[in-house]
């Protein structure tokens, strides 16, 4: 594992570069195929509304995959991620238009741990609401 | 209907091996829009110290969730899957999943709770490679929402 960020170069409070990720209907269909999760709430508006959702929503695991990129793009080596956990608190609602939704992710170093690892706390927002809670990763730095 | 507490601690038999392929990793990385070359280029992965391309951190969920199907669909447990939403997800990695891995999953029910009519189920999936080495553990919290009153 060879992360490009050195443990000695970060402090509690160090911010990782923030990123905004798109979520389109087409991306959800592609993710359904790649992941094998064909739950119709992620592609069928009629079904989603029928079970009380405002519209089609993103797979929680799709959002989880996008959010960790703020960490893996920072370290360079995705294999440096030692732990990653989230709570799905609000759905990412994806309208059927040209834009879809976006997920804005910010992150900072929350603690320096043993063995050159740090805990990174992540915040993910969509349509002005936090969509994940307790979103944390432990990552091994150089 | 509240789930049976006696299921806490129950472990299901290991799954048949899932063979991780380079092209499946590529397909997944493309689907999540992640262009990190460690997922698609063996040389780039080797430069980072990995023997072959590695999978994005959440890739293994497809395997552990399929394994959790044994639990979710266990008729004796009686979970109403049509009302299930994903509550929490956590992974702790010993090493990244990589192409060529043959992975088995052993699922254990860690907790069964009932809160405000919702059934809550915590499942732990231990993932091992062909040599029996531990690769990653996945914790999945599923919430079956209370049925609406008629």
- pLDDT tens digits along A62-108: 999 999 999 999 999 999 999 999 999 999 999 999 899 999 999 99
Strand stretches in chain B, DSSP E: 18-19, 84-93, 102-115, 118-128, 134-144
Q: Least CB-CB distance to A78: which of B31, B56, B90?
A: B56
Q: Are B89 and A61 in contact (CB under 8 A)?
A: yes
Model pLDDT, residue A130? 98
pLDDT of residue B53: 98
Q: Write down the pLDDT at residue B117.
A: 86
* A121 vs B: CB within 8 A: no
Which residues of A are less than 8 Å from B61 in CB distance?
Answer: 35, 61
List of chain B residues with pLDDT < 70? 1, 148-150
Nearest residue of B to residue A40, measured between CA atoms:
B82
Position B150 scores a pLDDT of 40
- How far apart CA B126 and CA B147 sit, in angstroms, is 31
Q: Give residue A107's domain range.
A: 7-140
Q: Which of residues 52-111 of A touch B (CB under 8 A)?
A: 60-62, 64-66, 68-69, 72-73, 76-79, 81-88
For each of the domains in chain B, give its residue range(s) and CATH number, in order of start.
Answer: 5-21+54-144 (3.10.129.10)
The count of domains in chain A is 1
Nearest to B106 by CA among B128, B79, B75, B82: B128
Residues of B in contact with A92 (CB under 8 A): none
Q: Which residues of B touch A1 (CB under 8 A)?
A: 48-49
User: CA A67, B79, B2, B111 torsion: positive or negative?
Assistant: negative
Q: At residue A130, what are phi and psi to the nearest 5 degrees?
A: -70, 125
**Structure-token pair, residue B2:** 């509240």
A10-30 pLDDT, tens digit per residue, is: 999 999 999 999 999 999 999
* A123 found inside a domain: yes
Residue A2 located in a structural domain: no
pLDDT confidence of residue B148: 63
A1 lies in a domain? no
Contacts of B86 in chain A (CB under 8 A): 60-61, 88
Percent of chain A with pLDDT over 90: 95
Torsion region of A76: left, alpha or beta (phi above 0 gives left; psi -120 to 50 gives alpha): left
Is there a domain that residue A57 lies in?
yes
State how far Cα B118 lies from the chain centre: 22
Which of A127, A101, A80, A136 has the alpha carbon at shortest distance from B36? A80
Interface predicted TM-score (ipTM) over 0.90: yes
- Collapsing DSSP to helix, strand or coil, A17 comes out as strand
Best of B32, B48, B80 to disrupt the A interface by mutation (most A CBs within 10 Å)?
A: B32
pLDDT computed for residue B1 by the predictor: 58
The pTM score is 0.95
CATH of the domain at A54: 3.10.129.10
Measured CA distances, B15 to B12, B19, B48, B79, B125 (Å): 9, 12, 31, 21, 11
Q: Can you tell me the mean pLDDT for A6-13?
A: 97
User: Which one of A21, A26, A51, A77 would you mutate to disrupt binding with B, by most B Cβ within 10 Å of its Cβ?
Assistant: A77
pLDDT digits (tens, 9 = 90+) for B39-60: 999 999 999 999 999 999 999 9
């Amino acid at each position: 594992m060879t992360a490009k960020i050195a443990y000695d170069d970060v402090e509690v409070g160090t911010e990782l570069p923030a990123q905004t990720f798109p979520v389109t209907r087409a991306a959800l269909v592609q993710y359904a195929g790649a992941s094998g999760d064909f739950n119709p709430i992620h592609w069928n508006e009629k079904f989603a509304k029928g079970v009380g959702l405002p519209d089609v929503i993103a797979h929680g695991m799709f959002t989880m995959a996008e959010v960790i990129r703020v960490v893996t793009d920072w370290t360079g080596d995705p294999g440096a991620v030692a732990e990653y956990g989230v709570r799905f608190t609000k759905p990412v609602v994806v309208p059927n238009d040209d834009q879809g939704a976006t997920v804005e992710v910010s992150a900072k170093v929350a603690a320096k741990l043993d063995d050159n690892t740090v805990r990174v706390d992540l915040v993910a927002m969509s349509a002005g609401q936090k969509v994940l809670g307790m979103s944390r990763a432990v990552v091994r730095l150089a | 209907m509240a789930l049976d507490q006696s299921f806490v601690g129950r472990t299901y038999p290991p799954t048949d091996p899932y063979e991780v392929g380079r092209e499946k990793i590529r397909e997944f990385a493309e689907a999540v829009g992640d262009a990190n070359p460690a997922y698609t280029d063996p040389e780039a992965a080797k430069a980072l110290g990995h023997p072959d391309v590695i999978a994005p951190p959440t890739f293994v969920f497809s395997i552990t969730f399929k394994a959790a199907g044994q639990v979710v669909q266990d008729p004796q447990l009686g979970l109403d899957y049509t009302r299930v939403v994903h509550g929490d997800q956590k992974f702790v990695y010993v090493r990244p999943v990589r192409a060529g891995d043959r992975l088995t999953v052993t699922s254990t029910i860690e907790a069964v709770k009932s809160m405000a009519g919702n059934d809550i189920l915590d499942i732990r999936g231990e993932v091992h490679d062909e040599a029996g080495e531990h690769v990653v553990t996945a914790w999945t919290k599923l919430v079956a929402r209370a049925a609406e009153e008629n």
